[in-house]
Amino acid sequence: MELPKELMVSVSGVRGRVGEALTPEIVARFAAAFGAYLRERTGEARPRVVLGRDSRTSGPMFVHAVTAALQSVGCDVIDIGLAPTPTTLLSIRHHGAAGGIVVTASHNPVEWNALKLASGVGMFLDADEAPAMRAYVADRPIPRAGWDELGTVTVDTDAAARHLQAVLAIPYLDVEGLRRRRFRVALDCIRGAGSAVLPPLLEALGCEVIGINLEPDGRFPRAPEPVAENLGELERLVRESGADIGMATDPDADRLSLVSNTGRAIGEDFTLALAAQLVLRHRPGPVVTNLSTSRILEDVAEAAGVPLQRAAVGEINVARAMERAGAVIGGEGNGGVILPDVHLTRDAAIAVALVLQLLLEHGEPLDRIVAGHTAYTIVKDKLPRDAGSLEEAYAALEAELDAPEADRQDGLRLSWPQDRRWLHLRASGTEPILRIIAEAPDPAAARDLVERARQALAGAPQAG
């Protein structure tokens, strides 16, 4: 099938602007291809596929297209409706399904939507699995079912309740203690899918919830990424309500970002660091994150005396590395917390529970806990660059900066552990640019690293 060139196809799915590159026809093609792939892979005559969506206005339309396509290849659909992405992934294992499809564009702007494809273990497709599915999208004939073999559709309305129970069952979560403490929590679900799970979870934990943007109608009132500069309304809400903490998600509620009791967004890198601080008190063990995540997490691992491993950028890369390392916690600096005790995917509901438990055990307000960590500055920059010819530039930069540690598993990451600074360069998977990111305790040192990288790359042979 000829695909529009603006369509963004990745290992685990496909996304585009609604009504432009992303149409019901495109969505149906990918869904049918995925169903055909699951039948072939599992050998099952009637594989079950869990289907969930975030709150985007185009969600119900694409759910119809996905449902019809899956039925047409003989897959039985289990529709859980509006749900956070982690809720859908958790339901795959609950139903013993062959896979799952989430209709969500995650943190992308409101005009986007996407399909995210997951396998039977409740994790997104990885680079080994994707090509067999993509062959059906490209040119392999899709075997369709006849009139007597069409898939069925079942509605499951209990997915959010099961997810909530799974979070409440985290062994070191002191639900009774939290209920007695009655935290005041300001919550911003950006009119996304988080409101299916987070308000009931906070209520189950005895919190007083002061909520904004809880109506899941997909009309996002702010830029969807839960980064500090997008959380002004939540910061004001925390100040005006005297809340203990503010919490914000992205539209599909796999990322969580925090506002301190003083009404300041503390940056999404702190979510995983604080969650790890709590988990490592109870279960010391390996921690895994990606190459671009803040050193705050490294400090937390160091203080607990456990190893921290870094994986290539991308949720599935971190999740697979966690599996291999037997990690007790991991995730991404963008507010994506992964707790293998529940499942190997980013989950904002889990982050909510872990951060509240840390507040309970620590006994100090969030701004004091944050003040106990080194304050780092992260500087991000980008250069136009052809991803195909970066090896020489990386080699030149590595020689020029002469760092004690160099990691080449995803671009180039140089680090100076003694000075607590690092630099990471990688080609964007979606744009013809090179991303440069540096972190140091001293803002000038972080800026200097980025500047030296820019100069070294300017001197290196040009891409082309």
Binding pattern for the stretch 424-453 against Mg ion, x by CB under 5 A and - elsewhere: ------------------------------
The CB-of-12 to Mg ion minimum distance in angstroms stands at 12
The CB-of-224 to Mg ion minimum distance in angstroms stands at 8
Q: What φ, ψ does residue 125 adopt, rounded to 5°?
A: -60, 145
The CB-of-54 to Mg ion minimum distance in angstroms stands at 8
Q: Which is nearer to Mg ion, 193 or 301 (CB)?
A: 193
Burial of residue 220, with CB atoms counted within 10 A of its CB: 0-12 exposed, 13-18 middle, 19 or more buried: middle
58 is catalytic: no
Q: Is 225 in the site for Mg ion (CB under 5 A)?
A: no
Binding pattern for the stretch 90-119 against Mg ion, x by CB under 5 A and - elsewhere: ----------------x-------------
The CB-of-409 to Mg ion minimum distance in angstroms stands at 24
Q: Which is nearer to Mg ion, 226 or 246 (CB)?
A: 226
Q: Which is nearer to Mg ion, 106 or 119 (CB)?
A: 106
State the catalytic residue, choosing from 55, 72, 91, 106.
Answer: 106
Q: What residues from 321 to 350 belong to the interface with Mg ion (CB under 5 A)?
A: none
Measured from the Cβ of residue 285, the count of other Cβ atoms closer than 10 Å reads 16
Q: Which stretch binds Mg ion (CB under 5 A): 36-44, 249-257, 265-273, 304-312?
A: 249-257
Q: Which is nearer to Mg ion, 79 or 250 (CB)?
A: 250
Q: Is 250 in the site for Mg ion (CB under 5 A)?
A: yes
Q: Which stretch binds Mg ion (CB under 5 A): 199-207, 253-261, 367-375, 381-389?
A: 253-261
Q: Is 268 in the site for Mg ion (CB under 5 A)?
A: no
Q: What residues from 158 to 197 belong to the interface with Mg ion (CB under 5 A)?
A: none
Q: Nearest to residue 59, comparing CAs of 226, 198, 225, 217?
A: 217
Q: Which is nearer to Mg ion, 252 or 268 (CB)?
A: 252
Q: Which is nearer to Mg ion, 151 or 336 (CB)?
A: 336
Provide the residue type at 370 as one letter: V
Q: From the list 54, 225, 235, 252, which residue makes contact with Mg ion (rule: CB under 5 A)?
A: 252
Q: Nearest to Mg ion by Cβ — which residue?
A: 106
Q: Which is nearer to Mg ion, 104 or 415 (CB)?
A: 104
**Owner of token pair 């190893």:** 307
Q: Which stretch binds Mg ion (CB under 5 A): 31-39, 241-249, 250-258, 443-451?
A: 250-258
The CB-of-194 to Mg ion minimum distance in angstroms stands at 10
Q: From the list 225, 235, 254, 268, which residue makes contact with Mg ion (rule: CB under 5 A)?
A: 254
Residues noted as catalytic: 106
Contacts to Mg ion by CB under 5 A: 106, 250, 252, 254
